[in-house]
Amino acid sequence: MKVVILAGGLGTRLSEYTETIPKPMIKIGPYPMVVHIMKSYLKFGHKEFILATGYKSDYFKKYFKNFKKNAVPFKQKIDKKKCLITIIDTGLKTLTGGRLKRIKPLLEENENFLFTYGDGISSINIKKLVNFHRKSKKLITVTAVRPPARFGELKVNKNNNVISFKEKPQVSDGWINGGFFVAKRNFLNLINGDKDILEKKPLELACKKRQLVAFKHRGFWKCMDVKRDRDELQKIYKLSKFNWKKLK
């Protein structure tokens, strides 16, 4: 299964770094955040990556030495593992849904694919996530996590169907959107174009159609939203190098 990483946003809340580099290229230890995310998928055998870039897209292209041309796959080793990577410039002002829509031509008909944001790291078991999605037979699966309430809130019933999806409520103590999605290619039909925010109409519509289910992850998850988050991730990396067993 292909892995799409949404890596094109401006990252304005991390302006200490993002005035000069895109957020997913901020380093935690010796590696950019995007590479840590790729490693989490590589651990479970997923070696095909599509980086949906936008803001300062050239930084990704310079980092991955084998890059030749926009939207053309190239081979690259990460942790001595051979990967097939595609970098596609999805536009500077394109929103999250629009970036995802733009990678549709790179997916096969009826293909399931994985996707996540370029600023979140987790101990999630990708194999269990994929198996859960396939068993559900739904259009899309979102990983639900329980950190502080700063992100989109999910309400999930006993059958793991998402019955409510609200983006960034002011007060929340329930499950939230942790990224790490699995979707059928047809989910992209719910996205109109560049101006669509993934977390608004597309996911809300999937929810109304009862085609959105949640995979509950109770382990480590952290999003790099502000400088404090980056500093905390740096401390965690120094402690464990993101070896999740050491963090239990």
Identify the domain containing residue 168 by its residue range. Answer: 2-247
Instruction: Say how many domains are in the chain.
Output: 1
Decide if pLDDT at 165 tops 80.
no
Decide if pLDDT at 202 tops 50.
yes
Among 38-42, 102-106, 129-133, 173-177, name the one with the lowest average pLDDT.
173-177
Decide if pLDDT at 204 tops 90.
yes
* Pair 100, 191: CB distance under 8 Å: yes
Amino acid identity of residue 204, one-letter, is E
Decide if pLDDT at 153 tops 70.
no
Percent of the chain exceeding pLDDT 70 equals 92
DSSP state of 161: B
Query: Which residues, 6 or more positions from 178, have their beta carbon under 8 angstroms from its beta carbon?
Result: 120, 122, 124, 142, 143, 144, 145, 147, 151, 217, 221, 223
Q: What is the pLDDT of residue 49?
A: 97
What's the pLDDT band for 194 if we cut at 50, 70, 90?
Answer: very high
Percent of the chain exceeding pLDDT 90 equals 77
Q: How far is CA 211 from the centre of its chain?
A: 19
Mean pLDDT for the chain? 90
Q: What is the pLDDT of residue 157?
A: 85
Say what the pTM is: 0.88
Q: What is the CA radius of gyration of the chain?
A: 17
Decide if pLDDT at 152 tops 70.
no
For range 97-117, the mean pLDDT: 94
Spatial separation of the C-alpha atoms in residues 5 and 118, rounded to whole Å: 6
CATH no. for residue 111? 3.90.550.10
Decide if pLDDT at 3 tops 70.
yes
